[in-house]
Amino acid sequence: MAKSDLTDELKAPAEPLLPIEKKLIGWSLGLGLVLLAVLLLLNWIVPLP
């Protein structure tokens, strides 16, 4: 990819977030935070010997 091509591409107008992208971001973050909370709880309930 030539430098000018890359520059033109990066200066192109932003694409709006699609609903599916919002879902992907939301579900990933939500699931991640819940799983981390569960793991922390397990970490607290079952401490290292």
Partner 1 sequence: MLSAAAFLLGDDVQRFAVRFTVAFAIAYGAWLLGNWAHFAAVTPAEEAKFGISWSFRLTNEGGFIVALLAGLVIANFFPAFAAWLKAAIRPELYIKIAIVILGAFIAVTVAGKLTLASSVMLRGVAAIVEAYLIYWPVVYLVARKGFGFSREWSAPLASGVSICGVAAAIATGGAIRARPQVPVLVSSLVVIFAVIEVLILPIIAQAFMAHEPLVAAAWMGLAVKTDGAAIAAGGITQSLIEAKAAAEGVHYQSGWILSVTATVKVFIDIFIGVWAFILAYVWTNYVNPRPGAPKAKAVEIWERFPKFILGFIVTFAIALALSLGAGTDASGRLTGAVGEVNLLRVIFFVLTFFSIGVMSDFRRLWQDGLGKLAAVYIVSLFGFVIWVGFVISWLFFAGIKPPLAS
Q: Which residues bind partner 1 (CB under 8 A)?
A: 1, 3-4, 6-7, 9-10, 12-15, 17-18, 20-21, 24-26, 28-29, 31-33, 35-36, 39-40, 42-43, 48-49
- Determine the Cα–Cα distance for residues 28 and 26; give it in Å rounded to an integer: 6
Q: Smallest distance from the beta carbon of 3 to partner 1, in angstroms?
A: 5
Q: Smallest distance from the beta carbon of 5 to partner 1, in angstroms?
A: 9
